[in-house]
């Protein structure tokens, strides 16, 4: 394995840590800014929308630029965004800083995967991408809990300072290690849109959006769910994120293996069904269990939820590649945009639930979306069987 892939994974780790730790910071940010937690949740919505919309546009504009140059600029803007967030004097400035981070994060992710492919031979492309994407998985398992722990000790601004420092270190290593002269291919936006209109691709993208809406209706507001719904102390938040991260690592590995052994569509169906059941549990636990039991039960649920939830992305990616193997980079980028659109909508749904209800309502509302997603998948299979039936 080319050791330079490790440094690209380090960049992915740094960027993804910020993306996953923010949910644990929302109550502290809301308190300091004198706003509600649902309004603070717009930090997640704005980030995800900017990522989903901005990434394909920026990737198109910079497609023919030197990959090293793009990566270094994205890391520089990511570091500046974190510093601006740490030093922000108002919620509006913090919101702008997160949008800057989203645009730089999305372009880094797209460029890093393309660079990883360019660094290896044709037979190791999938493994190279897996190494880079693995940085995100490690960020969920380790980076986000550590970021939450830093916040518990030094406040939410301390977390942004720490991520900025780590980002600067990652950028310096990438500046030293990445070669010059790797040039990408410019893919017009019309090609990306045309890929979305291929038969079967749009239902997959819709399913991805629905799955992530359900997940982030709860995950975006896991802090009020744990504190208000489960009676946990805020110091328990790093432990909850760690439990989720352990499950995510297991699910990410297991989801890919299950897709290969049992079929990607079957794996996606099981993931959606079990996700819906577990999301309901996040409402049932604080509603029916006493607070001294509800808190530990919520924390224990984070591991299986992480397993089930993170089994979905590799299986879904396998499904969309099978539909359009000749346009794999394009459809994967569309699926990534769908992921973040789902994150944005999920944070919005969760904010609405908290605005008109209670943290204990989050799970029941969230469960609706993977159930609808499961319906979309099953309807697609039924339609495909009808088409395949011989005419009498």
Q: What is the pLDDT of residue 110?
A: 83
Task: Record the pTM.
Answer: 0.91
Q: What is the pLDDT of residue 387?
A: 60
Q: What is the pLDDT of residue 390?
A: 53
Is 278:214 a contact under the CB 8 Å cutoff? no
Find all residues with CB under 8 Å of 170, minimum gap 6, and list them. 7, 10, 11, 13, 14, 75
Cα–Cα distance measured from residue 156 to residue 46, given in angstroms and rounded to the nearest whole number:
18
pLDDT in tens, the chain (392 residues): 667 888 899 999 999 999 999 999 999 999 999 999 999 999 999 999 999 999 888 888 887 788 889 999 999 999 999 999 999 999 999 999 999 999 999 999 888 877 887 777 766 666 677 778 788 888 998 999 999 999 999 999 999 999 999 999 999 999 988 888 777 666 676 777 787 788 889 999 999 999 999 999 999 999 999 999 999 999 999 999 999 999 999 998 888 888 888 898 999 999 999 999 999 999 999 999 998 999 999 999 999 999 999 999 888 888 888 887 777 777 878 888 899 999 999 999 999 999 999 999 999 999 999 999 999 999 988 876 766 555 44
Cα–Cα distance measured from residue 311 to residue 262, given in angstroms and rounded to the nearest whole number:
13
Is 330:272 a contact under the CB 8 Å cutoff? no
Residue owning tokens 């989903």: 52
Domains of the chain from N-terminus onward = 1-186 (1.20.1250.20), 190-392 (1.20.1250.20)
Tell me how many degrees the CA angle 26-214-104 measures, rounded to the nearest 5. 55
Q: What is the pLDDT of residue 130?
A: 73
Q: What is the pLDDT of residue 133?
A: 78
Q: What is the pLDDT of residue 383?
A: 74
């Amino acid at each position: 394995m080319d050791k330079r892939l490790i440094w690209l994974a380090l960049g992915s780790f740094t960027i993804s840590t910020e993306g996953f730790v923010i949910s644990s910071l929302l109550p502290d940010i809301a308190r300091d800014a004198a706003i509600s937690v649902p309004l603070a949740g717009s930090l997640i919505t704005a980030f995800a929308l900017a990522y989903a919309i901005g990434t394909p546009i920026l990737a198109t504009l910079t497609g023919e630029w030197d990959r090293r140059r793009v990566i270094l600029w994205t890391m520089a803007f990511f570091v500046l965004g974190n510093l601006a967030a740490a030093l922000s004097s108002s919620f509006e400035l913090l919101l702008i800083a997160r949008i800057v981070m989203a645009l730089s994060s999305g372009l880094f992710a797209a460029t890093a995967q393309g660079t990883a492919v360019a660094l290896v031979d044709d037979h190791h492309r999938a493994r190279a991408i897996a190494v880079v994407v693995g940085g995100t998985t490690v960020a969920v398992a380790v980076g986000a809990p550590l970021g939450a722990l830093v916040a518990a000790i030094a406040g939410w601004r301390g977390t942004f300072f720490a991520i900025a420092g780590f980002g600067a270190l990652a950028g310096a290593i990438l500046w030293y290690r990445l070669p010059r002269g790797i040039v990408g291919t410019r893919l017009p936006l019309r090609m990306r849109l045309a890929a979305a209109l291929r038969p079967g691709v749009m239902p997959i993208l819709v399913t991805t959006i629905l799955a992530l809406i359900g997940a982030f209706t709860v995950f975006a507001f896991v802090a009020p769910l744990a504190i208000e719904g489960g009676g946990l102390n805020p110091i328990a938040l790093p432990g909850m994120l760690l439990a989720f991260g352990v499950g995510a690592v297991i699910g990410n590995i297991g989801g890919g293996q299950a897709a290969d052994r049992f079929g990607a569509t079957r794996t996606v169906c099981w993931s959606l069904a079990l996700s819906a059941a577990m999301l309901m549990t996040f409402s049932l636990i604080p509603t029916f269990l006493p607070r001294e039991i509800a808190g530990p039960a919520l924390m224990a649920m984070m591991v299986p939820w992480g397993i089930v939830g993170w089994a979905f992305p590799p299986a879904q990616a396998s499904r969309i590649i099978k539909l359009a193997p000749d346009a794999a980079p394009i459809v994967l980028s569309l699926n990534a945009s769908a992921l973040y659109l789902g994150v944005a909508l999920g944070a919005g749904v969760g904010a609405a639930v908290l605005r008109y209800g209670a943290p204990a309502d989050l799970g029941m509302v969230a469960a609706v979306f993977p159930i609808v997603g499961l319906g979309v998948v099953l309807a697609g299979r039924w339609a495909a069987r009808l088409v395949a039936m011989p005419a009498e």
